[in-house]
């Protein structure tokens, strides 16, 4: 048994001093301090009084470390997984961008080739198809050349090609959007509302057709508008109004100011609101230029002010943040308690995708996917299935 002691477990909305025993890659025991001191032959790991939680679960990520999930080849996909693991993410959901049929099928095929992972990076839980069935007016950084209406033959082919599609972001108000929601729900795929101009009434109808989640709340979506003098609520208001809906926020401190993070946290709450990076290729980069999407056909972006921007600087182009930054931002700017911020990047995203029985919580019998972090929420060690995969280099070291 490996025993991690001298730790503060952040789990289930509380912080509890304890020690954890790991055997064969799984959590074998969770005991009060000293409770596993007498285990014979145990390999003891001193947690140095740091916080320990389940590894972070990022259900919306496009890339990182110089790679994008629209890139072909295992090197790119495994490179993204290894990059994000260093920042506490032990599970992630690769996310596509709007592309032509061939580009999307290529991404799905690459996922199937890489889904088992390589052991040195975050685990792939499944895939998120974002688009191409979106509204051009809310395309954000999605390439408008590839935005189109849902074609049943096309999305059925994609689902048959890749049985691991976990979620799909669609504008439900476009022709065919509600029918697609019914199809996704029947297949057990989380139908998400995003890049959409839907009114509150249209969102209400979408809920009846299987839509349960809102992709990057506030970003690329409708809010209150006036038509012939009358006000109509949009998707943003629907997130607060309908308890059937869950939502995600890009808590990088750029996409949303602290006041809106506080509002979402207080009114939606940590059980229905999760944190996502929406990270792109340049995650970890602080300035310069990058490409969103496929290197050969993607969009040029500018990295500055802690975020990726389109060249005209009128819109963001995905984030450059990592999961540890999400937690820091929610605590420092969003007013969340540390346990709630951790919940929003572990158990809550797992539950949104129906994976709460297998991941997201530190429980006896579960995989020992764990992260140790300090008071500044700086990642110090990351374990996957009980094996140390990352340790912060000593100060002054190579």
Q: What is the mean pLDDT of the chain?
A: 95
Provide the number of structural domains found in the chain.
2
Mean pLDDT value of segment 136-165: 96
Phi and psi torsions of 92, nearest 5°: -145, 165
- Domain membership of residue 396 (yes or no) is no
Does residue 145 carry a pLDDT above 80? yes
Long-range contacts at 301-309 (CB < 8 A, ≥ 24 apart): 301/141, 305/254, 306/252, 306/253, 306/254, 307/252, 307/254, 307/255, 308/141, 308/280, 308/282
- Domain membership of residue 358 (yes or no) is no
94 and 226 share a domain?
A: yes
195 and 245 share a domain?
A: yes
Strands lying side by side in the sheet with 288-292: 288-292, 299-304, 307-309
DSSP H helices, 3-99, are: 74-85
13 and 70 share a domain?
A: no
- Domain membership of residue 236 (yes or no) is yes
33 and 170 share a domain?
A: no
State residue 210's pLDDT score.
Answer: 98
- Domain membership of residue 397 (yes or no) is no
44 and 62 share a domain?
A: no
- Domain membership of residue 357 (yes or no) is no
Does residue 94 carry a pLDDT above 70? yes
Where residue 378 sits, what CATH number does that domain have? Answer: 2.30.40.10
Phi and psi torsions of 280, nearest 5°: -110, -175
Residue with tokens 């299935």: 385
pLDDT digits (tens, 9 = 90+) for 349-366: 999 999 999 999 999 999
State residue 395's pLDDT score.
Answer: 62
Does residue 341 carry a pLDDT above 50? yes
- Domain membership of residue 209 (yes or no) is yes
162 and 245 share a domain?
A: yes
Mean pLDDT value of segment 158-179: 98
Task: Between 213 and 398, name the one with better pLDDT.
Answer: 213
Where residue 262 sits, what CATH number does that domain have? Answer: 3.20.20.140
20 and 129 share a domain?
A: no
DSSP secondary-structure letter at 144? G
187 and 219 share a domain?
A: yes
296 and 368 share a domain?
A: no
Residue with tokens 């997984």: 81
294 and 152 share a domain?
A: yes
Strands 63-64 vs 56-61: parallel, antiparallel or unpaired = unpaired
DSSP secondary-structure letter at 146? G
State residue 314's pLDDT score.
Answer: 84
Q: What percent of the chain has pLDDT over 70?
A: 99
Which is nearest to 213 in space by CA: 185, 236, 191? 191
State residue 318's pLDDT score.
Answer: 84
pLDDT digits (tens, 9 = 90+) for 252-287: 999 999 999 999 999 999 999 999 999 999 998 888
Tell me: cis bond preceding 244? Omega within 30 of 0 counts: no
- Domain membership of residue 336 (yes or no) is yes
State residue 285's pLDDT score.
Answer: 86
Mean pLDDT value of segment 151-178: 98
- Domain membership of residue 275 (yes or no) is yes
Mean pLDDT value of segment 219-244: 95
Count Cβ atoms below 10 Å from residue 228 Cβ, excluding itself: 4
Phi and psi torsions of 83, nearest 5°: -60, -50
| The model's pTM | 0.96
Does residue 396 carry a pLDDT above 70? no
Spell out a b/e string for 8-38, using b for 16 or more CB atoms within 10 Å of the CB, else e.
Answer: bbbbeeebeebbbbbeeebbbbbeeeebbee
Longest CA span, the chain: 76
121 and 195 share a domain?
A: yes
State residue 386's pLDDT score.
Answer: 96
| Full residue range of the structural domain in which residue 373 is found | 2-53+363-391
- Tell me the CB-side half-sphere exposure of residue 221, using CA atoms within 13 A: 31
State residue 397's pLDDT score.
Answer: 46
115 and 176 share a domain?
A: yes
51: pLDDT confidence band, cut at 50, 70 and 90? very high
């Amino acid at each position: 048994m490996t025993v991690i002691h001298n730790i503060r477990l952040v789990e289930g909305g509380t912080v509890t001093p304890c020690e954890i025993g790991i055997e064969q890659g799984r959590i074998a025991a969770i005991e009060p301090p000293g409770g596993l001191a007498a285990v014979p032959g145990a390999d003891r790991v001193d947690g140095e009084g740091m916080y320990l939680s389940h590894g972070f679960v990022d259900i919306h990520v496009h890339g990182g470390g110089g790679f994008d999930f629209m890139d072909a080849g295992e090197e790119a996909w495994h490179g993204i997984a290894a990059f994000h693991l260093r920042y506490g993410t032990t599970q992630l959901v690769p996310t596509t961008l709007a592309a032509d049929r061939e580009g999307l099928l290529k991404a799905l095929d690459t996922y199937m080739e890489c889904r088992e992972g390589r052991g040195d990076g975050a685990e792939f839980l499944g895939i998120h198809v974002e688009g191409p069935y979106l509204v051009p007016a809310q395309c954000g950084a999605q390439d408008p050349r590839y935005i189109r209406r849902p074609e049943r033959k096309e999305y059925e082919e994609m689902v048959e090609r890749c049985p691991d599609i976990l979620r799909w972001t669609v504008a439900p108000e476009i022709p065919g959007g509600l029918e697609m929601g019914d199809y996704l729900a029947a297949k057990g795929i989380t139908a998400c509302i995003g890049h959409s101009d839907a009114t509150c009434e249209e969102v209400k109808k979408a809920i009846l057709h299987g839509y349960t989640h809102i992709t990057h709340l506030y970003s690329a979506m409708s809010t209150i508008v006036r038509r012939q003098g009358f006000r109509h609520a949009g998707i943003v208001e629907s997130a607060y109004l309908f308890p059937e809906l869950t939502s995600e926020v890009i808590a990088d401190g750029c996409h949303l100011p602290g006041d809106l993070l506080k509002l979402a946290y207080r009114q939606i709450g940590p059980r229905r609101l999760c944190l996502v990076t929406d990270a792109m290729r340049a995650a970890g980069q602080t300035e310069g230029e990058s490409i969103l999407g496929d290197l050969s056909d993607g969009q040029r972006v500018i990295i500055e002010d802690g975020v990726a921007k389109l060249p005209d600087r009128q819109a963001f182009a995905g984030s450059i943040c990592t999961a540890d930054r999400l937690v820091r931002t929610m605590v420092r700017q969003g007013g969340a308690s540390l346990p709630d911020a951790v919940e929003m990047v572990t158990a809550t995203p797992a539950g949104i995708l129906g994976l709460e029985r297998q991941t997201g919580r530190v429980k006896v019998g579960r995989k020992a996917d764990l992260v140790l972090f300090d008071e500044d929420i700086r990642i110090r060690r990351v374990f996957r299935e009980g094996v140390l995969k990352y340790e912060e280099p000593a100060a002054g070291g190579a």
